[in-house]
Structure 1
Amino acid sequence: MGVVETGKLPTGNRARAAFVAALEASDDRVERHYLEVKSGFDLNLKADRRKVVKFILGAAHRDPAKAARHFEGHAVMVLGLPLDDVRGVPKFEVMDLERDIVTFAGAHPPGWDIDLVPADDGRDFVLIIVDPPDGRILPVLQSSDLLVSGDVYIRVEGATRKVTGPELAAMVGRAHAPKHEPLLDVTVESLGPAQAIVIDSTELRELVEWHAKRLEEQVENTPTRSPFAALHASYMSDRRSPQEFLDEVEDWRDSALEVPSSGLHELAAMMTRPFALRIINNATTSLKEVRLDVTFDVPVTALDWEKQSNTINLFPDRPSGWGDDTYLTGISLRGMGPVVTPDAYNGSIRIASEGPAELVVEVRRLHAEQTVTTPDEDVVLVLFVDKPDSIPGKVTATWRLTAGEVNEVLRGSFDVDVARADWRDPLRSVISGITG
C-alpha cells in the first residue's frame, strides 16, 4: 500500500505526480474527510460533474480546526485512478464544470481549483482542490437527478452525505461564534543569504561523459585472469558483474547529465555561508511541538553544510571503478545515515527535500516571548545558474507553522538575500586538471 503524504498540499508537477502515484499504489482506505478518490470518471457526463459539486459543498462544511491538520486545510478529490487498466479521465471542458458549480452552489461557491497530471493516451488525472472551510453554510440551490435543492452536505470519513441535526447545529454555532484572537503570533526571519553560483553546464556534462567513458573502458581493458589465480580472484574481483557495472555507470551518466549541477553539491556545501532562521514567539503563551515548514519561490537547492577540506571532488557520487568494489572492500560505511543527535529535532534545520528546497524546523517548546535561532552549521542554500543576468536580488520563502494542541495554522513569508559567485573559470581549471 502506497504511503500518501497529507501533511501539505502537493504543489508543482513533480509533487502532484508523486501524490497520484502513491494513490495508485494504495486503495480506497486512504479516503478520509480531506480526500476522495474516483475511478472510471468522465467529466463530460452531468452526473459525474454533480458528484464533484457535492464533494465541494461537503468539504466546505467541515470543522475548520479538524480540516487544518491535512493538506493545509484543503480537501482534495482525485479523479481517474485505474479501472480495468484504464488510467485518467477523458478530455473535458472546464467551463462545463464551472457552470454546474455556479448552478448548484451559487455565484460565490466555496473556493476551488483544478490541476491535471498526465496519465495515458491523452488522458489526465484530475485533482479538484477545495479551499479550507470559511464558516459559511451553503445549501444546494437547485435540484437534479443527484442533488436536491435545500440539502446541506458535509464531507466525513470516507463519504460525502447530508448533515445530521447535531452537525447542522455545530455549523450554525461556528458561523455565529465570536472571532477569537489567534493563539499563534510568531515571526520568522532569515539569517544569512542564499548563494547563486554561476556555472557552465556544458562543461560539466562533458566531464560526465569523460568519466563515464573511462569507467566503461575499465571493463573492456580487463585482462583474462589466470585459472591459477581463482582463489585470489574470488576475493579480489569486483562483486558486480560487468553488465551490472555498465548499468550502474549508465544510470549515473543519465542522472548527472540531467542535473549537471549535482556534481558540485559537495563543493558548494563546503564553500557556501550557512543559512539560519530566527523564530520569535511574540505571544505571552508558550507553545510546544512547534513545526515550521519553509519552501521557496525559485528552484533553490538545500544542502547539508560541510566543513572545508583541501580536496576538490566533482561528481563524488559516480560509481567506484571496476575492480574497486571487491569482497575485501565491500564492508564500508556507505549508505549509513548520519547519527541523529538528541537536539536534531529541537531547533535545528533539517532538509525535507533537497531540490526544490523544503526545510523543516521542529522545536519541542517555544516559550512565551522567546527567540530561537537555528544553528549556523545546518544547511546552505544554493542557486545554480548558467546566466549571470538571471540571478535575482532576493528570493521569497513561504512558511507554515503549527503547534501541538493549537487548532490553527500560521502562514507567512520572508525574503532571502542572494549572494553571487562566478565559478566558471575556477571550474574550468579544475576540469582541465582532471581530464589532463
Structure 2
Amino acid sequence: MPDLTPADDSHATAFALDTSVIPLGERALRGILDHVIAVGDEAETPYLEVKSPLDMSSKATTAKIAKFLLGAANRRPHEAARNFHGYAVLMIGAQKGSAPGVPRGTEAHELEDRLRPYLGPQFPAFEFGRIGVGSDHEVLFVIAQPPEDGQTIFPCHKVFQGDDRRDSLEDGAIYVRGTSNTRPARSGEVLALVERARGGGKPPINLEVDLVGGIHHVDRVDEVLEQLRGYQEEQFSKKLEAEAKSAFAPASLQLASSVFGSPKPLSPDEREEALAAWRNKKPEHIAEGREHFLGVGLPGAGIRVVSRDRFVAKPHLTLTFHNCELLAHLDPDDADFEKAVEPVVRRQHPLGSSFDPSALRFAPRGYPVAWRNRGEDAEVVLTPESFRPNVPWTTGQDDYVILTRDPEASSVEVSWILTEDGNDDVITGEFRVVAEGLVDAAELFTAVFFKAD
C-alpha cells in the first residue's frame, strides 16, 4: 500500500478541496481523497461525508450508505449547486493521515440491489467510483446526483435498527444533510421540499408585516423623576420615619412616605457622604429609573408577519422603527418604587443582600427575536425557522416597549428588509403605525406605583 500520510501541515494546504469541479473521474476523486487524508473528519460538509474502512458486506454499511443517499437526494437545488455542481460524495476507506481502503470486490450492481429496499423504486441513479490503494484494497466513492426542482420528496422505505442509534433508519422518515451529517428533517425543511416538488417556480415573496401593540410617547418623564428625587432628598434630610403615612411631592404627585423606608441609623458624617454620593450619580439614577418606570408602566409590542402564498425558509427579517427607542418590557407586578426612584440609602434586607430574579432576562437558545437601539432608530430582528404560506407568525408582546422620540409625532415610519436562506433576493418594504396618545408621566407614575387597594 502506498504511503499517503501527509508529511506536515503544509501538505493540508496543498490539498485544499476544489468544489468547483464535478466529482467524477479519477483526477477529481483523487483530489477529494488527498483532502480527506490531509484534514480527516474536518472535511465533512453537506456535500461530502467520510467513512473509515467498513465491512462492505454488512447490513449496517448498506444502511449507512442508504442514509447518506436519502439525505443527499433531499437537498434544495439552489443550495446544493454551490459545491460540486450539485453532486454529493460519500467516501469509504479513508481517514486523516491514511487511506487503508476496503477489500477490492464491491460491485456497483450488487450494492444497488442491497440499497433499493431502503431507497424505493423512484430513487434517482447514483454514480460509483474507486481508487486503488495497493494490490488488494481500494477507496470507494458513492456519488449522489444533483437534486432538481420538481423532484418528489424521497422517504426511507425500510426499517433498520443498528447497534448505534445514530445509524438506524425508520420506514417513512425523511432524511436531510446537515452541516456534516445526515439527520431527520425538521418541519421547515419538509415544507421546503414540498416547494421543491411543486416545480421550483416559486412566486415572489409577498410579506404583510404589522405591529401588534402600540408605539408610545410619555411626556415629562425626566421632570417627574427629578421631582421625586427632590422629595427623596427632602425626606432624607428631615430624617422622617419610614412609617410616615403620607406626604406630598411636587406636581401634585401624592406619595405614601412608607415607600421611602427607613435606612439603618447613620452618623451625621455618613449621612453627608451618602447624600453626596447619591447626588453624583443623578444621571445614572435617572436613566435607570426611566427604564424601569416605563418598562413596567407601558404595554409591550410584537410583530405579526404573513407570507402570502409562499413558503419562506429560514427568514432574516429586520425592522427599523425610525426615530424611536426600545426599552425592555417588564412585568407590571415587578414594579418597584426604589428601582424607579433611587433612595439616598437603600433599606437593608434583614438577611443581607437579596437576589432579585426580575433583573435577569435570559433568552433561550434559538430565540427568534432580538432588538437594540441603533442611533436614533430602534431595530428588531426576527429569525424564525420559517414563514408558512398564509399562516400568521406573531411574536409575543413581552420583549420590548416602543417609544417615539418625537413629541409631536402622530405616526411612525417602519421599514423592513428580508433575506431568505438560499435565496439571493433581498425584499424590502415599509408601513406606518399610528402613535398612541400622549401620556403624562405624573399620571402614569401614580397609576403604576400607587394603585388603589
Q: Do they superpose with TM above 0.5?
A: no
Which is greater in Rg?
Answer: 2
The structure, 1 or 2, with the larger RCO (C-alpha pairs under 8 Å, 6+ apart) is: 1
TM-score computed with the length of structure 1 as normaliser: 0.41
TM-score computed with the length of structure 2 as normaliser: 0.39
